Structure 1
Amino acid sequence: MTLPLAITAPLNFIPIAAMESVVRRVFAHVIESHPGLFDRLADHVDKRYAFLPRDLPIGFLVEPAIPRISVHRKEHAPPSDACMEGELVLLLALLEGRIDGDAVFFSRDLTVSGDMEAMLALRNALDDCEIDLPSDLAGMSGPFAPLVRRAGKQIRERMLGGVLKEEVPQWN
């Protein structure tokens, strides 16, 4: 599931502002497509959630109350209330609810630190939203929507391989 170096290495040289511009557009579209995404956070809506892909030199900070996402070099990551670390593909699969979060946590493929209650509230909120990134990205692609949707689904299936929710053995 680790992204190839040919994809990740250039991120060391791309300006943060350029990456953040793209990430914020996608984030805004996902929020628009799933307006209730942060409703279930309740007392945790003001928390700051960090997502640190182990296979990328960058991390993401989500602030649901604003709502805003920011991109940072890992060595300059701002403080957060709750943090999740794992490979990017794994983090995206969790976002979509395609894999069992408990199974990847207990297999140590995923590390969660900080306010566990806040992270659990976010996980529950994501579970209810049924996010489908290929479809959401297709919604931003105008006449290329069918191509983007199909390519996104193929990439997701190849990258996730045998770790889809229905294929992951339960830990208990």
Structure 2
Amino acid sequence: MSTGVHTVSPARLPGGGVVSRLACAVVQPILSRVVRRIAARHPSLFARLGPHQGTDFLIDPVDLPFALHLRPDPGALLFRAVPRDAVPQAGAVIRGRFLLLLELVDSEEDGDAAFFSRDLEVTGDTEAVVRLRNALDDVDGSIAEETAAMFGPPGRAVLARLRRAYTPEMERT
């Protein structure tokens, strides 16, 4: 039975907007490095997006104190953490648990199944979301692993820990 997608309001987070802004400040340099490196290594991602390169995507990991704003325009590439009380207008919103979103990036999770089980919520321009999904599906290898490798052994250890922490007990045995 699915628990569905639950959003976390800034007021329910410890420190509210302060925690969200601090988390954004901490992760932003990492996001900037990651998006530049992934774009350089996988330029075909942009071609697959076609007219949706200029679409603003709001990626909302509901269990984190911030959301992510992605504009996959190779001429004005943007990937930034945004406080929950200051999210920008977006052409498409993708909302779910952090690890589910991470698994979707690497095609480890069935996006359709997650959507229909209500573990994933998609609103706005669904064609743009489908194009983004197809572009990510075409990437050889794991973007999550590639990102972790940018930070060496500590990055790989963090990714492994995240995956273990989010893996249901039944799947570990």
- Provide TM-score, normalisation by structure 1: 0.77
Superposed displacement of residue 132, structure 1:
3.2
Please tell me whether the aligned partners of residues 48 and 82 of structure 1 are also in contact (alpha carbons under 8 angstroms).
yes
Give the residue type in structure 2 aligned to 1:161. Answer: T
Q: 2-side partners of 1:126 and 1:155: how far apart? A: 23
Which runs of structure 2 are paired with 1:13-162 in the superposition (5 Å)?
Answer: 14=22, 16-65=24-73, 66-129=76-139, 130-138=141-149, 140-141=150-151, 145-146=152-153, 148-149=155-156, 151-152=157-158, 154-161=160-167
Distance 1:9-1:90 versus aligned 2 partners, 3 A rule = farther
CA positional deviation for 1:85: 0.4
The 1:71–1:55 alpha-carbon spacing in structure 2 relative to 1, beyond 3 Å, is same
More divergent stretch after superposition (103-112 vs 57-66): 57-66
| Alignment CA distance shift 1:153-1:71 (3 Å) | closer
1:37 is matched by which residue type in structure 2?
L
- Per mean C-alpha deviation after superposition, the further-off stretch among 18-27 and 153-162 is 153-162
Any stretches of 5+ residues in structure 2 without a counterpart?
Answer: 1-5, 7-12
Alignment CA distance shift 1:131-1:34 (3 Å): farther
Q: Tell me the alpha carbon deviations over residues 127-153 of structure 1, each in whole angstroms, 9 at most, x when there is no partner.
A: 001433133321x23xxx24543x255
Gaps of 5+ in 1: 3-7, 168-172
- Residues 1:74 and 1:134: Cα distance change in structure 2 (over 3 Å): same
Q: CA RMSD in A?
A: 2.4
Segments of 4+ moved more than 6 angstroms: none
Q: How many residues align?
A: 152
Q: Which residue of 1 aligns with 2:3?
A: none
Equivalent position SS for 1:16:
helix
